[in-house]
Chain A
Amino acid sequence: MDVYHFSEQPYHAAWEQAGEVDSLRVTFPNEHCDPRVAADLVNERLDEWVLCDELGLNIMINEHHSSATCLSNSAMVPIAMLARQTKRARLLALGHPIANRPDPVRLAEEVAYIDVVSRGRVELGFVKGAPYEISPANANPVKISARFWDAHDLILKALTTHDGPFNWESEFYDYRQVNIWPRPYQQPRPEVWVTGGSFGTATDVAERGHRFATILGGWNAQKLFDAYRARRLAHGHDFPAPDRFAYCALVGVGRTEAEGHRRAEQVAGYFRTTSIVGEAFVNPPGYMPPQGNAQWLKKNQTRGRAGSHFPVTTRDGRLLRIGSGHGSGDGVGPADLVDAGIAFTGTPDQVYDQIVELDEHVGGIGNLLIMAHGGDMSHADAVDNLTLFATEVLPRLRERDQSRAVTAAMERVAAAHV
């Protein structure tokens, strides 16, 4: 099992205003961003990723736009800096919102350049992007999926074509001389990762054989991974190895259970702020299929439901509504997050056992994506959280034999398709 550390690089200093505004995204004025505070925050995060390189952890970066929840507004920028500051770590952007970016060939060029700089450490992640990313990009929400796969096809062709320019005239993009320099260091190209939370995405990704990642999806990941596995088998491929799967959860490790829980609570600031977004931006027309929107209308939901809660389900089917708002008393604690499979927290032994339980359930996670910083966690806590994880948990995960989990998944998938 490989492990990547991820932080959204939040600007938590502005979250106090969360109770006064209806949106921390899109419309929240940047007068609430003190650039000196931002400088401290992003440099601390970048230092933590440099530390990851020393600790044997890999690096995962994302991007959001016009948001106090995430200062990273181009995943490639921090990845580019870290390519020079690190020696071993894999550099995963998860990911690039390719359906929202106007120029896929430009992304292929950036990927190739950084892959060359890092001598082949780039991991290429694509995301459809959250609905509230539509407005900052002013991308048309209609046909976003078709545009995503068209951009995907174009980027992969640009990375793997070496015999001179090719032509691309599709519904969404027009180029006549695509011929990127340099070409990527890794041949034929960096590994592609795609995030998803639906069967449709899982099987779309399976058909292309890419890595499939669920972000804070909890126990439901088993069904999604099984759908991926079944589709691979149906297309005549081998049973997918754990390296095809990635799973993202919060991590809070401590020398005591209480210290670990305190850290998980801090990282969980993510949940308490991520849903605070103006109702018009929650579900732009066309982002969901019309059948889904018709069902929303039936409940008299003409727009989104702004900022009420982040819903998660525990293993035994309990629906948790993690309330929005800084420090809101929603009654959801670290133990509940563990029950929901979206946090691993406590002492190193507890954290290891929780990861193993989930790993067994979903059938072998090749790539664990840990959010070991989030919310208002301090740099010192983040350093200690990462160091404890890397020294006490990571070695055991690396040595862990996943064959039993994989065999169980094989039997489960076979039984479902007899």
Chain B
Amino acid sequence: MAEQPAAFEQVEIAGVKIELARAGDGPTLLFLHSVDGVDPGSQWFRLLAQRFHVIAPWHPGFGHSELPGDRFRDVGDLALFYLELVHELEIRDAVLMGASFGGWLAAEVAVRSAAAFTHLVLADALGIKVGDRESRDVADVFAISQEELTARAYHDPGRRTRDYSTMSDRDLLGIARSREAYAYFGWKPYMHDPTLRPWLRRVRIPSLVLWGESDGIVTPDYGRAYAAAIPGARFELVEQAGHYPHVEQPERVVELVTAFAHPDSALAGVGSTSEER
């Protein structure tokens, strides 16, 4: 979460005031966050910014970004917002990356227009329907205890001990707003867009689907189905990671993303667990 609010810029995109973090040099990487938001102080963010020029906005409704009721009803509206952001910030030849809910968003953006992007990276993305009508693909995070949620989300649940009582009122309000926006966009249909999966055929840029092998929110098999729906996409399992591989294995994920999207970067290397199609 935002421990250094000063790290965020206030920008207005399509008439919507949002916050975003920008750092680093190199090819531009637009990172779309999960319900947990953007944390520029995290190891993940700092390592990524050593390889890329990272732009990480807070989605409308999340953190302290506005959510005007007249233009946001579903995730498709958020996708159009991001295409406007790409236009207004003149982003081009960029990597589009999203994690969890942000991965769903990135996929929704890519099926609408990938013109500004060279590569797509999804990490444990939500958003598609894989199972039959009696099988829920995404664990019902609104129906389980906090303890079970943490156990499902992390390979090492012990990492996730937050003491909210020490946080600022501003940060707590941002967390509460993020959870509300997450429910608003993901409640029904639950965490997916029923027609996204067949439209993933429209993603015609190189795509990498990363998945934490211990993810108990959406399983690696769901990730394999995601990759199978995107033409030519590569699937990579990240060991010793749950739903947030970039948080639990930041070095490994930055290495994978760099090798995939920015291979001429000196320190890039790649592991051997690739399930290339």
26 pairs from A and B in contact (CB 8 Å cutoff): A26-B143, A135-B142, A138-B188, A143-B184, A279-B145, A280-B142, A280-B143, A280-B145, A284-B183, A285-B176, A286-B180, A286-B184, A290-B180, A291-B173, A291-B176, A294-B169, A295-B172, A297-B164, A297-B172, A298-B164, A298-B167, A298-B169, A300-B163, A300-B164, A300-B165, A302-B164
Please measure, in the bound complex, the distance between the C-alpha atom of A138 and the C-alpha atom of B181, giving whole angstroms: 16
B199 within 8 A of A: no
Q: Taking beta carbons and an 8 Å cutoff, which residues of B are in contact with A?
A: 69, 73, 142-146, 163-165, 167, 169, 172-173, 175-177, 179-184, 187-188
Q: Quote the shortest CB–CB distance from A407 to chain B (angstroms).
A: 44
Please measure, in the bound complex, the distance between the C-alpha atom of A279 and the C-alpha atom of B73, giving whole angstroms: 28
Please measure, in the bound complex, the distance between the C-alpha atom of A143 and the C-alpha atom of B143, giving whole angstroms: 19
Q: Quote the shortest CB–CB distance from B203 to chain A (angstroms).
A: 29
Query: Which interface residue of B73, B144, B180 has the most chain A CB atoms within 10 A?
Result: B180
Interface secondary structure of B, over-half rule: helix
Contact A141 B173 (CB under 8 A): no
The residues of A that contact B172 with a CB separation of less than 8 Å are 294-295, 297-298
A37 within 8 A of B: no
Interface residues of A in 280-327 (CB under 8 A from B): 280-281, 284-286, 290-291, 293-295, 297-300, 302-303
Q: Quote the shortest CB–CB distance from A24 to chain B (angstroms).
A: 16
A241 within 8 A of B: no
Interface secondary structure of A, over-half rule: loop
A301 nearest CB neighbor, chain B only:
B164
The residues of A that contact B145 with a CB separation of less than 8 Å are 278-280, 303
Please measure, in the bound complex, the distance between the C-alpha atom of A279 and the C-alpha atom of B184, giving whole angstroms: 20
Please measure, in the bound complex, the distance between the C-alpha atom of A274 and the C-alpha atom of B277, giving whole angstroms: 54
A171 within 8 A of B: yes
Contact A142 B180 (CB under 8 A): yes
A140 within 8 A of B: yes
Please measure, in the bound complex, the distance between the C-alpha atom of A171 and the C-alpha atom of B72, giving whole angstroms: 11
Please measure, in the bound complex, the distance between the C-alpha atom of A140 and the C-alpha atom of B179, giving whole angstroms: 13
A291 nearest CB neighbor, chain B only:
B173
Quick one: given A291-B176, A293-B179, A297-B175, are A142 and B144 in contact (CB under 8 Å)?
no
B148 nearest CB neighbor, chain A only:
A280
